[in-house]
Amino acid sequence: MKPNEALLTLEGWYAYHDFRKINWEAWKAATQEERQAAIDELLTLSHEWAANEEAKAGSTAIYSILGHKADIVFMFLRPSLQELNALKTAFNKTRFADFTTSDYSYVSVVELSNYVNNPGEDPKENPHVRERLYPILPKWQHICFYPMNKKREGNDNWYMLSMDERREFMKSHGMIGRKYAGKIKQIISGSVGFDDWEWGVTLFSDDPLDFKHIVYEMRFDEVSARFGEFGNFLVGNILTQEGMQELLSV
């Protein structure tokens, strides 16, 4: 077995995180009629997204974002990149989009690492695997997103480890994650060849402290301590239709 044997992965729906900033100066300067027309167009789109989710042809989540990096994130899961591009285009044609800028976005595909493989079995026929590859995004109270890489530096080069070594590392890593089952919903999306990092990690929870606890605990696991590199963290709150109206009220 070659020490740098590539891992087979399973892919599901494509993912697009669209982080938007609102131009509050322009929004406040608009007339009430202009603002309401923009909100109505956005709500019409959100109804279309909800219908898509009801048909199990994708999923959508909308959250307000804290801090200076963004005001809103739209997270979309769809069967193809073409559908994600159509979503982006449809949004950009709305009047609401005229009041926003997109300083950051992320393109990836929902991914499962097949470290546990049952020969002769099609994993996508397993309902538990399908649920993870084609998930309905939870509408829990809080979201946390961050991109990450595995290091390729000297003795800490993940890609030069053997399959057995990587499998053992990930087993330990996974045991920590299982402690948060029911508290955190995790969506791992692969972005090698799609975006600037190798993975995007999206966490959902009803208690934001769960994000702090799991990320901190993972720091002490060797996979993260030796091999993990992390980008910016973005965290926010669920944005319902009523919440959207309240957020945009002047």
The residues annotated with a catalytic role in the active site are 146
Helix (H, G, I), strand (E, B) or coil at 166: helix
Give the span between the Cα atoms of 49 and 44, in whole angstroms.
9
Give the span between the Cα atoms of 115 and 173, in whole angstroms.
12
DSSP state of 136: P
DSSP string, 13-28: EEEEEEEEEE-HHHHH
Among the listed residues 13, 20, 7, 6, the one whose alpha carbon sits nearest the alpha carbon of residue 200: 13
DSSP state of 36: H
Helix (H, G, I), strand (E, B) or coil at 74: strand
The H or E element that residue 12 is part of is strand 9-22
CA distances from 32 to 175, 239, 242 (A): 53, 21, 17
